[in-house]
A = this chain, B = another copy of it.
Amino acid sequence: MSKERQHFLDWFLYPRNIAVVGASNNPSRPNFYLFKNLIGLGFQGKVYPVNPTTNAVQGVRAYSRLRDIEEAIDLVICAVATPMTLDVIRDCVQKKVKGVVIVSGGFSEIGQEGAKLQDEIAHLLKESGIKATGPNTLGPINTSNNLAVSFHPIEQLRRGTLSFIFQSGLYEPRLSWLFSDFHLGISKLMDLGNKMDVNETDALEYLASDPDTKTIAIHSENVKGDGRKFLQLLKETTKRKPVIILKSGRTPGGVKAAMSHTGSIVQGSDSVFDAALRQSGAIRAQGLEEFFNLAKAFAFLTPPDNNRILVATLPGGEGVIAADLCQQNGLSMAELSPETIGKLKPIFPAWEIRGNPFDLGVCREFHPPELTYSLLLDSVVSDENVDCVAVQLSAPGWASAEDITTPFCRVAEKGKPIAAWLAMAPGKANIITEKVEAKHIPVYTSAEAAIKGLSALYKYKVMQEQKV
Given contacts A152-B398, A328-B251, contact A169 B320 (CB under 8 A): no
A318 within 8 A of B: yes
Residues facing B in A80-123 (CB within 8 A) are 81-83, 105-106, 110, 114
**B251 contacts A177, C-beta separation under 8 Å:** no
Q: Which of A59-67, A206-214, A229-237, A426-434 is found at the contact surface with chain B?
A: A426-434
Contact partner of A254 (CB less than 8 A), chosen from B248, B287, B320, is B320
CA distance A332 to B25 in the complex (A): 43
Residues facing B in A160-185 (CB within 8 A) are 166-174, 176-177, 180-182
Chain B hits for A427, CB < 8 A: 181, 425-428, 430
**A351 contacts B424, C-beta separation under 8 Å:** no
**B323 contacts A176, C-beta separation under 8 Å:** no
Copies in the complex: 2
Convert A36-64 into 0s and 1s, putting 1 for each residue whose CB lies closer than 8 angstroms to a CB of B. 00000000000000000000000000000
Chain B hits for A430, CB < 8 A: 427
**A321 contacts B397, C-beta separation under 8 Å:** no
A423 within 8 A of B: yes
Contact partner of A82 (CB less than 8 A), chosen from B174, B288, B314, B350, is B350
Chain B hits for A398, CB < 8 A: 152-153
Q: Which of A126-134, A196-204, A298-306, A445-453 is found at the contact surface with chain B?
A: A445-453
**A248 contacts B320, C-beta separation under 8 Å:** yes
A260 within 8 A of B: yes
Residues facing B in A262-311 (CB within 8 A) are 262, 287-289
A238 within 8 A of B: no
Convert A436-468 into 0s and 1s, putting 1 for each residue whose CB lies closer than 8 angstroms to a CB of B. 000000000111100000000000000000000
CA distance A221 to B172 in the complex (A): 42
Residue of B nearest to A172 (CB): B315
A416 within 8 A of B: no
Given contacts A172-B361, A349-B106, contact A253 B448 (CB under 8 A): no
**B254 contacts A327, C-beta separation under 8 Å:** yes
CA distance A431 to B125 in the complex (A): 47
A357 within 8 A of B: yes
In the assembled complex, the CB of A370 is this many whole angstroms from the nearest CB of chain B, namely 11
Residues of A within 8 A of B (CB): 28, 30, 81-83, 105-106, 110, 114, 151-153, 166-174, 176-177, 180-182, 219, 221, 248-254, 256-258, 260-262, 287-289, 314-324, 326-328, 332-333, 349-354, 357, 359, 361-362, 364-365, 368, 392, 394-395, 397-398, 423-428, 430, 445-448
